[in-house]
Amino acid sequence: MMQLLYLSLLFATQFCSIARGSFGPCKHHKVQENFTMSQYLGTWYEIERSGSTDSDTRCIKEKYSINEEHKIELLTQYVEKGNSLNIHKGDVFYSSTEKNPAKFFFRITNEYERWGSFGMSPLDHILMPYWVLATDYTTYSLVLSCASALITHHDYIWILGRERQLSKNVTDYLHEILKTSNINVKLVPIDQHNCTVVY
């Protein structure tokens, strides 16, 4: 899920090693042309993501919206074991005047208590990249985030859908984009079945 990967990204920036990362800095990749945030806003469901499988985490959805302060908010919701609902808020930092508007940043704002178990202070000043590699706004989105540490980097990928399921043709198409972009990450499916919790 995005907020847990966010913490992984922050952790990676301080503690990753050559064995766990790819050599060199984060690479530049082609992103969605003529990206428009107003079309991107709304609800997205996580279909696949990079990282390890967590069978107890399912029904992950994210909602991007404009708040009263005219800023973009990210609300991530997911169900854990025992049908426990978790909600995390975040901020999206976007500018349509950037050279590549499909490249922006995000920050999870209420997920810092986990850092206490590591004896670390919250790093709420750190923004993580959010690159939309491809989207048609109505069906799918392919998102990349990358963290650099020392002489290595880690790529994190999300495949999102407007519905809880994407067709194999669409996921194959997005996997091919990753392949041609030389982004080699293992993707795991997110369970979007039996999402009976109302939220």
Residue 161 confidence (pLDDT): 98
Residue 96 confidence (pLDDT): 85
Percent of the chain with pLDDT over 90: 49
| Residue 36 clears pLDDT 90, i.e. is over it | yes
In a domain, 129, yes or no: yes
Please, how many CA atoms are within 13 Å of residue 12, restricted to the half-sphere of its CB? 25
Range with the poorest average pLDDT among 63-67, 87-91, 126-130, 166-170 = 126-130
In a domain, 117, yes or no: yes
More confident residue, 101 or 9: 101
Is-above-0.85 flag for pTM?
no
Provide the domain limits for residue 136: 2-189
What CATH number is attached to the domain comprising 136?
2.40.128.20
pLDDT band at 13 (very low <50, low <70, confident <90, very high): very low
Number of domains in the chain: 1
| Residue 140 clears pLDDT 70, i.e. is over it | yes
In a domain, 57, yes or no: yes
In a domain, 19, yes or no: yes
In a domain, 46, yes or no: yes
Range with the poorest average pLDDT among 19-23, 35-39, 60-64, 156-160 = 19-23
Average pLDDT rounded to a whole number, residues 40-48: 97
Length of the chain measured in residues: 199
Residue 88 confidence (pLDDT): 87
Q: How far is CA 15 from the centre of its chain?
A: 20
In a domain, 172, yes or no: yes
Going by DSSP bridges, is the β-strand pair 187-189/140-149 parallel, antiparallel, or unpaired?
unpaired
| Residue 197 clears pLDDT 60, i.e. is over it | no
pLDDT band at 99 (very low <50, low <70, confident <90, very high): confident
| Residue 199 clears pLDDT 60, i.e. is over it | no
Percent of the chain with pLDDT over 70: 73
Mean pLDDT of the chain: 81
In a domain, 198, yes or no: no
| Residue 89 clears pLDDT 80, i.e. is over it | yes
In a domain, 73, yes or no: yes
